Amino acid sequence: MGYHVVDPESISPTEDHPCDRRSLTEAVDLSALSAAVYDIAPGEQLPQTYHYHDQREELFYVLDGTLTVETPDGEQTVSAGHVFVAEPKSPHRPYNPSDADQPVRVFGVGAPRYDIGRPFDPETDDMPEGSESD
């Protein structure tokens, strides 16, 4: 059996990430689940790029602030205490608008762990095959 109690502040931020990302996955060597805490300043985005996953289900629980998520269907606003869920093949880009009054703190999880995000350009890309809008 294995148990962990982790203070995300004790984890070094992920290098070269667009916001402050603390990977719980790496800190405790999770094998099937991706989990991280994100602190997103005004003007920053949570992921590397607007993207989707072939198999991964992702959820973002907003701890503080208000998260904005760009989707092909329009922007979603997610307040503290609420959760945004992205199903596989659903393009999304969580971010904190540059005119926001405060940072956003988010707990994000996804599974399976190893399902790389595929870039999505809403101006030129068609919806991923098998997506809801297909």
Per-residue pLDDT tens digits for 113-134: 988 899 998 888 777 777 765 5
Q: Residue 101 and residue 25: Cα distance in Å, rounded? A: 30
Q: How far is CA 119 from CA 15, 27, 90, 122, in A?
A: 20, 26, 11, 10
Per-residue pLDDT tens digits for 56-91: 999 999 999 999 999 999 999 999 999 999 999 999
Q: What is the pLDDT of residue 132?
A: 61
pLDDT-above-70 percentage for the chain: 97
State which amino acid sits at residue 36: A
Q: What is the pLDDT of residue 116?
A: 86
Query: Which burial class, exposed, middle or buried, applies to 99 when counting CB atoms under 10 A from its CB (0-12, 13-18, 19+)?
Result: exposed
Q: What is the pLDDT of residue 124?
A: 86
Asked if omega into 42 is within 30° of 0 (cis), the reply is: no
Q: For residue 20, what is the enclosing H or E element?
A: strand 20-23
Q: Residue 23 and residue 76: Cα distance in Å, rounded? A: 25
Per-residue pLDDT tens digits for 36-56: 999 999 999 999 999 999 999
Q: What is the pLDDT of residue 12?
A: 95
Q: What is the pLDDT of residue 134?
A: 52
pTM exceeding the 0.85 threshold for the entire prediction? yes
